[in-house]
Amino acid sequence: MEPVGKTAAPVDADTLRFKYDQAFDRWIKRSQDLFVLFGCDFRVTYANPTFCRTFGVAPEVLREAGFDGLGLAPDMAAVWRMLLQKALDERHEHVEELSLPTRNGVRCYRLRIVPELRVDGEVEALWVAGQDITEIRGTESVLGETEARFNAVAANVPGLVFQLSLRKLDRSVEFHYVSEGATALCGIAPERITLAPGEFVELIHPDDREAFFQSMRLSLKTLANWTWEGRLSGGLRGERWVILHATPRRGNTCSTLWDGIMLDVTDSRRNAEKLRQSEEFLRDLCVRVATVREEEKQAIAHEIHDELGQLLTALKLDLSWMRESDGLTPIVRSKVQRMESLTDDILHRVRDIASTLRPKVLDLGLAAAIEWLAQEFTYRTGAACRLVLDGLDLCDGLDGARTTAIFRIVQESLTNVARHAHARRVDISFAACGAGLRLEIRDDGAGFDPEAVQVSGIGLSGIRERAVILGAELRIDSAAKAGTTLEVVIPAASLRPPDTRKAAHPAKRKRAARRLRDGGAAA
């Protein structure tokens, strides 16, 4: 039995070197990299199988022909010789990249040229190891082109392109990328925003800063798109309105990244404000024009009723006195009676004109006026007209201009139905809705194509004009032989709070409307 602790016999150095050379030889032969050994005279003394397959040359040809066996162009052979000579002279490793013609086309290699030194420090041989990096360089080239394209696009975007996240420790903003547009938008260089993001946060207007972080936290919680609009104050350009749009995504470290853009919308907001003011001015102008027009109609109606009505009434009385006088021949009496009848017709026409210009029924309230319109429509056309006036209480406090506008919308709609639709039934409803008051007029008539008919062709211009006065939204839904639905949604801002006075009794309204229909509208 061998004693415990007995050591193994020492291994001979030549044996170790032999085993090392065998392992190294096997590794080089199996390697996918190029390995070639040059002597100090630059002749090839060894090339691994990968090298021979890559260049399509046999080992013995390499040993005999040297560089000529590789089939390199003279300038490429000169580069090889220069690299080998440099490693030989300087006696240390060099790394270069060369594009070499191979059996698979031109390939890019990273060459490591390592001088093998003897014991006395002189160079004995030169090892060259080549790694094929064609795919790596191709990928880097594609990435470089993509990055250059992205930078070019980002540089031409009229705003700030960014990527940011929230720091885990203090939940502060951290910018990973900022485009060159930061200088124009914020007055700060992009590098400064990346290094000191707090300076950007300080630019956010104090009144809008909480909304900025609140919208960001909401996007972080739901991973929904992040949208924020606010002001940047200070800087070189003063106060600016900006809008931010960003898309969140999970990063490699489970943090959330936002890729987005920030645009300057100051000019568009100013233009929108100017447009809003212009619309308000036009709406007020329309209200004023409509008010003046209604006042003129009312004045004309009064003139027609008071002046012409009185003159015609006096003429009728005189004709009645003449007809009852003695001494008239039958022919003259017949003429006078005919003149009296014509005077009655003219008097009725005058009253109709005065009623059209300014219906006195409006003085009884909008509900009574709508009921009178419905009765007149049924009386003249024979079509049924159903009313639902539940929401008219919202109109009790309206001024004269808006009350008249609603009345005229219903009046012109019924006129259009009578002239064009030939309907058998019309439904008029007033109902309260979340946006205010909804007026709907629906008929079962012939219908029309709203896109093909001009606004002024069937009397829609007056309806649209009065919808503008009310600040209302007008919708028309119609199709051939499918009837027409006209909907006017009057916003709550155009309706005053209803007062506490009681509306006229429905029976009283009906009696008044009946009297007006029978000829008392202008009385």
pLDDT tier at 7, thresholds 50, 70, 90 = low
Condensed to tens digits (0 to 9), the pLDDT of residues 208-257 reads 999 999 999 999 889 899 999 999 986 666 788 999 999 998 876 667 89
Q: Kindly compute the dihedral angle of the four CA atoms of residues 109, 110, 116, 117, in this order, to the nearest 10 degrees.
A: 150
Is pLDDT at 426 greater than 90 in this prediction?
yes
Q: 282 or 383: which carries more pLDDT confidence?
A: 383
CA gap 420, 491 in Å, rounded: 30
Contacts of 312 by beta carbon, 8 Å cutoff, 6+ apart: 343, 346, 347, 350
Contacts of 481 by beta carbon, 8 Å cutoff, 6+ apart: 446, 447
pTM above 0.75, yes or no: no
Condensed to tens digits (0 to 9), the pLDDT of residues 391-408 reads 787 777 777 778 888 888
What angle is formed at CA 405 by the lines to CA 403 and CA 409, rounded to 5 degrees?
120
Q: 459 or 220: which carries more pLDDT confidence?
A: 220
